[in-house]
Structure 1
């Protein structure tokens, strides 16, 4: 009897397996491409291409070889590369039950797993709702004067009286000081100096292979993260004590605003979320804005017609001001051409080369399977430099944005798109416009270094974009 049962099982099990395999709904096949060497995959290839400023060509070569959807391995995870307006919409407006807003392992370990880039669904909505009130235009209007003061103090210290400057390091210094003053209320001094060093190491490690060896970029970034976290914990405790002593006062900085957010328990955010999102805001605001302003300076040195138009717009505003009078919100609303120049700069030289999402479940996309847990990689330049979307894409043309409706949705993704649009975009706009106003009205410049740049992971001009500067005769030092 026992022999008979074993025989039946041996015959029936393969039949059952065959029936299941043939009746199960197929999810599609994996995209073409190779995952490469375990852990490393194509990470070193991409990083080398970014450093050599050939990353766009590297991606284009993959598209020509494999098509619009392909698989590879980046930073320790199997990945699917997708591109185009439909891909951007899929990434930025995807259902959180399908696509999670999760970054690479290196980004997650450096910034923490409770920052806005990692959260999805109700958690993402809750934390975003806590951040947005402080970063919306109505709130930022009152900080234009402080930002104006920071920019003028920076120029007085680092530009006036100099013959040559390196723009990128100075813009990193400026944007970090603005963030510390306006968003975190951290005074100038040793603590602020230590923080900027920490965040420079953290940024370098965000696009790196997550190997914890003493000599690796990633390991240095992790050590810097722990030091930055310790400093920010001290700041959070100080802000909490201030709120306890002055419970009726309005929050004067982002951390105070986050500590005071949420009248209901389900609206409040945790200290861990405050900490992780503070680090995210510092990294995002410090690097992306400094790169944008640097490349505008680079662009104005190379495009005399654009420079003249920006100068004319800004001089008209300067002439309307009394000596020493600060810029106002109303002044910024008239800088329409200057902001179009900034948008076009972001199109041609996007601070973020691309980004990642994670498949929460098996996804069928464009006829291919994106397995659960795989990364989804999108690249900004794939639509920014598409001639079917932006005619003559290599030509710098700020007039593309004269009518915002002329740019199709999910094609220009300088600030992301849809529900995932950057909550700090208005802060970046104010910061950029105030800085450019004082640069063009007080200085003229010409390039000392060449036009080359690399990505690490943000675009970084050769020699930090060294320029020879001349102070305008009408300069006001107050």
Structure 2
């Protein structure tokens, strides 16, 4: 009896959705929802893994046009692309569109993180995070990032003949973020959290249609442990603040704990602090590590570009005394290097795309997107559009020499609008500091092919093993 009741509960919402959909069928975008629950998920995930997802979407566009319906991860979905689509997705009213993440995301990271909440909670939480992560605030933390990079090179690069880049870059970005967000350095506490966080991350990407439940369940367990550790840190920081033993801006947790509104009430609850600190780590950990990895890959593939980056970085290095840290002013001089970063993110965005959820019936490009449906956007569909970026397959950092010439709503590695990644400036600091020390101290060449896949994050073959040797001082 319980089985029949469960099946009934499962089928009734689907029946109601399909009945409602039939009423709008003439206005809904062309395409097919495919087999119930499965839809086009298997084909799309396979294309991501094989690095053919862009072609997979181009085939849909040729068949159905610029707007089409499909089903991904068991949900009816409308795929849209182009500048107008990017503007629609990133700049629309939060009462019309909401973030739509895989169920594993909410279950592992919780329901009070920035990616799950809607207005006005989203605005309140985002403003709190941005207050710490904005450029004016981050200037004072460049020294910490500088210290972590130097320490990292001593451990993972010095004296090595080969380095597998992606794994060590994940360690580097983890350590930088732990220093800035959590305020703890190397040690047992850091190692414990790294293990829990990595298992949590593996579980986060585990959707039932793609990866085993055991990995997902392990991620859930480790998420509880990771959040418990952060909760203990929140308590410790609060005690230190009350005893005047800590500066409110010494790290993100202390900063968020210290925030109160005009009535003296905490701006964020402890649950919101815990979940959004973990989310901030997630945002600055794997994506930044992936970007730095692909920059190293491109510098090996593009000797002329590498020479120009080296020249710029050596000029900065010559202006520094021995052991002197980089400063905000030094990062501002890295104009060509940042163009290389931008071009890398254009050609190899670490996040392929994402979803939004229609909170009401929405009109787009003459079609109806029914309430409750997903909207799917994909960064490469504008990044690799030849009408926006001439010769899109050519690695050309100089296309970003004049930022004003970049077409609006075309480059979206950090998203855009009110839901733009609040940690984009932190990612800039991590990346530029890392590239400065790596390129001025080492030379390298690839030990594997140039292939990469998405699973679903961007990953080079074998993690990008490279042969390294110290650079001769100029």
Q: TM-score, normalised by structure 2?
A: 0.91
Q: Could you say which residue in structure 2 is the equivalent of 1:127?
A: 125
Indicate yes or no: 2:84 matched with 1:82.
no
What pairs up with 1:348-367 in 2 under 5 angstroms?
A: 348-367=347-366
Match of 2:176 among 175, 178, 187: 178
Give yes or no for contact 2:352–2:378 (8 Å, CA) kept in 1: yes
Give yes or no for contact 2:69–2:77 (8 Å, CA) kept in 1: yes
Indicate yes or no: 2:430 matched with 1:436.
no
Give yes or no for contact 2:193–2:229 (8 Å, CA) kept in 1: yes
Residue aligned with 1:197, SS: helix
Pairs aligned (count): 452
Call closer, same or farther: CA 1:42–1:192 in 2, change over 3 Å. Answer: farther
Call closer, same or farther: CA 1:279–1:37 in 2, change over 3 Å. Answer: farther
Call closer, same or farther: CA 1:51–1:337 in 2, change over 3 Å. Answer: same
Give distance in 1, aligned partners of 2:282 and 2:177. Answer: 10
Indicate yes or no: 2:292 matched with 1:310.
no
Residue aligned with 2:62, SS: helix
Q: Could you say which residue in structure 1 is the equivalent of 2:39?
A: 41
Moved over 6 A (4+): 211-214
- Which deviates the most, 305-314 or 262-271? 262-271
Tell me by how many angstroms 1:403 deviates: 0.7
Q: Could you say which residue in structure 2 is the equivalent of 1:225?
A: 223
Match of 2:186 among 158, 183, 188: 188
Match of 1:94 among 66, 71, 92: 92
Give yes or no for contact 2:73–2:209 (8 Å, CA) kept in 1: no
Q: Could you say which residue in structure 2 is the equivalent of 1:399?
A: 398
Give yes or no for contact 1:103–1:356 (8 Å, CA) kept in 2: yes
**RMSD value, Cα:** 2.1
Give distance in 2, aligned partners of 1:280 and 1:400. Answer: 32
Give yes or no for contact 2:445–2:467 (8 Å, CA) kept in 1: yes
Give yes or no for contact 2:206–2:212 (8 Å, CA) kept in 1: no
Tell me by how many angstroms 1:196 deviates: 2.2
Residue aligned with 2:395, SS: coil
Call closer, same or farther: CA 1:207–1:33 in 2, change over 3 Å. Answer: farther
Give yes or no for contact 1:33–1:66 (8 Å, CA) kept in 2: yes
Call closer, same or farther: CA 1:209–1:36 in 2, change over 3 Å. Answer: farther
Q: TM-score, normalised by structure 1?
A: 0.90
Asked which structure has the greater CA Rg, the reply is 1
Q: Could you say which residue in structure 2 is the equivalent of 1:424?
A: 423
Give yes or no for contact 2:102–2:207 (8 Å, CA) kept in 1: no
Call closer, same or farther: CA 1:196–1:35 in 2, change over 3 Å. Answer: farther
What pairs up with 1:1-16 in 2 under 5 angstroms?
A: none
Tell me by how many angstroms 1:238 deviates: 1.4
Residue aligned with 2:356, SS: strand
1:47-74 alpha-carbon deviations (Å, 9 max, x no partner): 2111111111111112212211112222
Q: Could you say which residue in structure 2 is the equivalent of 1:456?
A: 455
Indicate yes or no: 2:408 matched with 1:414.
no
1:347-398 alpha-carbon deviations (Å, 9 max, x no partner): 0000110011110011122222211111111000000000000000001111
Call closer, same or farther: CA 1:465–1:421 in 2, change over 3 Å. Answer: same
Give distance in 2, aligned partners of 1:206 and 1:454. Answer: 18
- Which deviates the most, 381-390 or 409-418? 409-418
Tell me by how many angstroms 1:155 deviates: 0.1
Residue aligned with 2:120, SS: helix
1:433-461 alpha-carbon deviations (Å, 9 max, x no partner): 10000000000000001101111211111
Q: Could you say which residue in structure 1 is the equivalent of 2:236?
A: 238
Q: Could you say which residue in structure 1 is the equivalent of 2:5?
A: none
